[in-house]
Structure 1
Amino acid sequence: MTVVQRRVAGQAQATRLRIVLAEDDPADALLVEELLADGDLDASLTWVRSAADARRAVAEGAADCLVLDLHLPDLAGIGALAEFLREVGVTAVVVMTGLDDRAAGLAAVQAGAQDYLVKGKVEGEWFARTVRYAVQRKQAGQAAAALAAARWRAQENARLERGLLPTPLLRDADIEVACGYRPSRAGALLGGDFYDVIETADGDVHAVVGDVSGHGPDEAALGAGLRVGWRTLVMAGHRGADLLRKLEQLLLAERRTPEAFATLVMATFPRGGGLTITRAGHPGVLLRSERRVRLVEPEHGPALGLVPGVGDWPQRPVDHRPEEALVMFTDGLYETRLTGGERLGEQRLTHLADTLGGLPAQEFVDTLIDLSRAEQAAHPEGRAGVLGSGDDVAVLYLQRKADV
């Protein structure tokens, strides 16, 4: 690439615009240099002789504005121009046309250029103003696009949240429910963690917390599908291993990669009392009373999709006292790494929960998540050096109201 770089004397380097001129005619290149010198634009000028060289200069970050001759040998036709403008992306483009080619300038603007100038009909101030406004319009367009993208992500988050984190469906059951969720990083799309609570016609209350492997929109969509599938199957009367076999079939049909799997834990509060737990490769649960918090890990089967078609998932009654609340969670709650490199772990998590005393349900959930992710450094566990979690966290808290 032949490059001749000239700067306007006396201009401050820090605020100088970078202009790349793509022009194969040396006389016209000299004209643009003179226009730049005659104006008040704080800019540097890099001259290249082809569209290919201009593309490389832009890719190397050398341009805030590209001044482009429409008759370069390697840029023939408005179709080629439109493709070229897409390739230069964030750089503002001002095209230069001949005296008898104004229509081409308008077509270039319609194809994506910010403005056009007619050779021989431009003065220094006009050139400077055109370049300056072209850069400003490009920046304003990028800001508007970024705002639109942010709004779209917010809308996607809201839609995913409705799918992954629904409102508990309870009618008459005396069950208090508190929920908590944190994505893996601030502002991130929701991951594949999900939960749900539903009361069936017989008065039993069923709950689930699940976690799809991986992060991203595909995992979130799969988690939402599993959550909806779980609620539908429960309402249709499926329970225990039978429910999980059908849920695994749904996962196999919907997953994008053969490596994707999901873990989950289900709980049932029969209307007459008691508690049963079914686990598919998922962590255990916490049982919380006013006196203490204990970790319970009933027998479990494999994660859904890990060994398709051969899994068995026992439904086990749990030694559950009426005054105890059930706390279900995903592994992001205890996979936090300490400063020494070791995990927070289930045992430390249990101790952490045990320090929260008689906090109300929702405050308990929120505080437990915050402490596990080092968001409340004033707590003794926080001072011990807990680092932030790299995984999503979902927590579901259930307790019979009569026993609160």
Structure 2
Amino acid sequence: MMLLVEDDPGDALLVEELVADVAQGLRLEWVRTLAEAGERLRVTVPDCVLLDLHLPDAQGLEALARIRAYNDQVAVVVMTGLDQERTGLDAVASGAQDYLVKGRVEPELFVRAVRYAIQRKQAERTSAALQASQMRAQENARLERGLLPTPLFGTERTVDVVARYRPGRAHSLLGGDFYDVVQAEDGLVHAVIGDVSGHGPDAAATGVALRLAWRTLVLSGITGQRQLRLLERVLLAERTDRQTFATATSLTLDPRTRRVHVWRAGHPGMLRQRGDELHWLDVPGGPALGFLPGRAEWTSHEVDLPDGAGLMLFTDGLFEGRVGTGGRRLGEEGLLELARVVPAERTDAFVDELIGRVEELAAAAGGLDDDLAILYLRWRADERGAGR
């Protein structure tokens, strides 16, 4: 469909005859003013707009600017008088796809100009979409480096780490899920996993700020409740919405005692695996960061992690999604049942297989709704650290 914006009935009739001669079956709608054109463009997008630059309510390039303001996705061919060819060139420079000079329009030239104008506009849209996609990919890579870092270990590494991240089905950017692992100079291994509420760049940026703040605090020797209080201050400063909160579990693993100190702020429990045994651990904790600013309390809880055992921490995207054709939620019990039938010979294979089975169950309900992150920590089989 083409939209003709022309106030001269004689010129409009010539265009109608050209369309009838060379483009049979193509529907042409005629309006006399830019105001009428704006009304049409609000309800439908034609393949091309044929625009006279001298209208009762707009003159010259102003008419083109207003058409593009109404809808910048439509191809525009401007029509000028015999003495205004320069204006046509200026219109192309200002965003029109082509121009035609009234009185010089042959049927073949008319068809070619319209067809090429539509193709050029399609190429522009494709190029713009590609550029936007590339920018999203670059932004995604920057956010990923901030949210999902390489663990920082010393010369004598005592813990093996398997980390995974999967985006939800509707998110082109990472969400606010984050994790990190740092080995301090005293040999203690610190780990964190967290989830900022919401999705998109704001949640991801807040997650990056929290993850960087956590690593800085660990390297400064600050752990436990003081660490969580400072992280909450960072959240309050960085969040763009007062309703935004973050859950987190922070761990300190001692290779000498084979014990783990856990501080939990509103985050889901964890799985402890030893051989073929798999249990859900839901240790005591406090509220999510941002729920009770300045008033929350988080207590430490100790967990045994003997040789050969591992802890798997995760965000709620792993079990909160809907699965099956009935759309039921997998839930914590469902995740535990699923994990117990996954072979556990190798840690990385166990984690990947578990994610694959969750995604397979969620596929029937349209895929995972939320991002998920997993952090699996296990003592190295050939290391005993300072207590060896």
* TM bracket (short chain): over 0.9
Aligned to 1:287: 272
Provide the C-alpha distance between the structure 1 equivalents of 2:170 and 2:349, rounded to a whole number of angstroms: 21
1:306 paired to 2:262: no
Structure 2, unaligned runs of 5 or more: 384-388
CA offset at residue 300 of structure 1? 0.1
The residue identity in structure 2 corresponding to 1:396 is L
Provide the C-alpha distance between the structure 2 equivalents of 1:351 and 1:158, rounded to a whole number of angstroms: 34
**Which shows bigger deviation, 352-361 or 86-95?**
352-361
Aligned to 1:236: 220
Provide the C-alpha distance between the structure 1 equivalents of 2:82 and 2:191, rounded to a whole number of angstroms: 74
1:36 paired to 2:22: no
CA offset at residue 375 of structure 1? 5.6
CA offset at residue 320 of structure 1? 2.5
The 5 A counterparts of 1:376-387 are none
Quick check: 2:53–2:79 contact (8 Å CA) kept in 1? yes
**Which shows bigger deviation, 388-397 or 368-377?**
368-377
The 5 A counterparts of 1:130-145 are 130-145=113-128
CA offset at residue 44 of structure 1? 1.9
The residue identity in structure 2 corresponding to 1:204 is L
CA offset at residue 126 of structure 1? 0.6
Q: Deviations over 1:234-275 (max 9, x none)?
A: 111100000000000000001001100000111111131311
1:86 paired to 2:65: no
The residue identity in structure 2 corresponding to 1:224 is V
Quick check: 1:65–1:91 contact (8 Å CA) kept in 2? yes
Aligned to 2:322: 337
Structure 1, unaligned runs of 5 or more: 1-17, 378-384
1:266 paired to 2:245: no
1:388 paired to 2:373: no
CA RMSD for the aligned pairs?
A: 1.9
Quick check: 2:195–2:207 contact (8 Å CA) kept in 1? yes
Quick check: 1:41–1:128 contact (8 Å CA) kept in 2? no
Provide the C-alpha distance between the structure 1 equivalents of 2:167 and 2:311, rounded to a whole number of angstroms: 22
CA offset at residue 213 of structure 1? 0.7
Aligned to 2:379: 400
CA offset at residue 387 of structure 1? 6.7
Provide the C-alpha distance between the structure 2 equivalents of 1:42 and 1:264, rounded to a whole number of angstroms: 63
Aligned to 1:101: 84
Aligned to 1:348: 334
Identical aligned residues as a percent: 51
The count of aligned residue pairs is: 380
Query: Normalization by structure 1: what TM-score?
Result: 0.89
Aligned to 2:386: none
Measured at CA, do residues 121 and 342 of structure 1 come closer, stay the same or move farther in structure 2, by a change above 3 Å? Answer: closer
Q: Deviations over 1:346-393 (max 9, x none)?
A: 12212211111323111111111221232698xxxxxxx777331111
Provide the C-alpha distance between the structure 1 equivalents of 2:35 and 2:122, rounded to a whole number of angstroms: 24
Residue number among 224, 228, 240 corresponding to 2:208 in the alignment: 224
The residue identity in structure 2 corresponding to 1:398 is L
Query: Normalization by structure 2: what TM-score?
Result: 0.93
Measured at CA, do residues 202 and 79 of structure 1 come closer, stay the same or move farther in structure 2, by a change above 3 Å? Answer: farther
Provide the C-alpha distance between the structure 2 equivalents of 1:359 and 1:115, rounded to a whole number of angstroms: 66
Aligned to 2:168: 184
Measured at CA, do residues 387 and 109 of structure 1 come closer, stay the same or move farther in structure 2, by a change above 3 Å? Answer: closer
Q: SS of 1:303's equivalent? A: coil
